[in-house]
Chains A and B, each alone.
Chain A
Amino acid sequence: MTAEQELEVVASVFEHLLEPIKDINPDLLAKIADEVKLVPRHSGEDRWAVSKCLRRIAEFLEKTEYSKNGGIRA
């Protein structure tokens, strides 16, 4: 398997992850990320980690205008 093929697979995984939120406003996603910190019955560390993950996705969507550009392959 070539390096290019490996990257192609990584891109597929990436697109798979982002597909559900491809049309969501990054600001709204960031707000949801903040709400995750308040999810009851979970440890603060877990909620922080999930929140951080969503926030990084939101930052990526905002910086790249991901959905407007047609995804990572564009």
Chain B
Amino acid sequence: MSKLTEDLLSRILSPVDLVPYEKLIEIASVLQQSGDGEHWAAGEVIRRIAEIAHTIDTGRKQEPKSNDWDEIFTLEQEFGKIGNNVEFLLYGSVYTKTGDTAVKVNVPSAGNIIDMRDGPRTLVKIDPLDKEGD
């Protein structure tokens, strides 16, 4: 793996930069309803691209919903917290809390999160959470 990986990812995603999330999901759904595995798989790729791009682009602007916070606090009890920014990973979703903003983003694998604090495209990997908290 190298910097080439990052460049490739950027190149693949760039055509759909300006396509609204809803449109990507609709097109993905059309493909996935085509009836064969190959079309379904291609649609799934578009769906995953949409989910990642959407959450990165809009996540920082979203106001927390009350049920999100409830879930965050539940997760705090289970996993502990890190400093002033609480970051959790559960079943492929990450919850970050930075100041007054809470977002939920989908992530590809355990241990990886998309950090919304330092810009929409900054990706970070967190260490195992300290159950003792701070």
Number of interface residues of B (CB under 8 A): 38
Q: Which residues of B contact A41 (CB under 8 A)?
A: 26
Contact B46 A49 (CB under 8 A): no
Determine whether B27 belongs to the interface, using a CB cutoff of 8 Å to chain A.
yes
Interface membership of chain A positions 34-45, coded 1 if the CB is closer than 8 angstroms to chain B and 0 otherwise: 011001011101
Are A17 and B12 also in contact (CB < 8 A) when A7-B1, A7-B6, A11-B5 are? yes
B90: interface (CB < 8 Å): no
Residue in A6, A15, A29, A57 whose beta carbon sits within 8 Å of that of B12 in the complex: A57
B15 in contact (CB, < 8 A): yes
Partner of B16, one of A5, A6, A12, A49: A49
Number of residue pairs across A and B with beta carbons under 8 Å? Answer: 119
> Interface centre among B3, B15, B52, by most A CB within 10 Å?
B15
- Cα distance A3–B128 when bound, in Å? 19
Select from chain B the residue with minimum beta-carbon distance to A18.
Answer: B45
**A49, B20: Cα distance in complex, Å:** 11
Indicate whether B98 reaches chain A with its CB closer than 8 angstroms. Answer: no
Task: Name, among A13, A15, A43, the residue most crowded by chain B CB atoms within 10 Å (CB to CB).
Answer: A13
Which residues from chain B sit less than 8 Å from chain A, CB to CB?
Answer: 1-3, 5-6, 8-9, 11-13, 15-16, 18-20, 23-24, 26-27, 30-31, 38-42, 44-46, 48-49, 52, 108-109, 112, 123-125
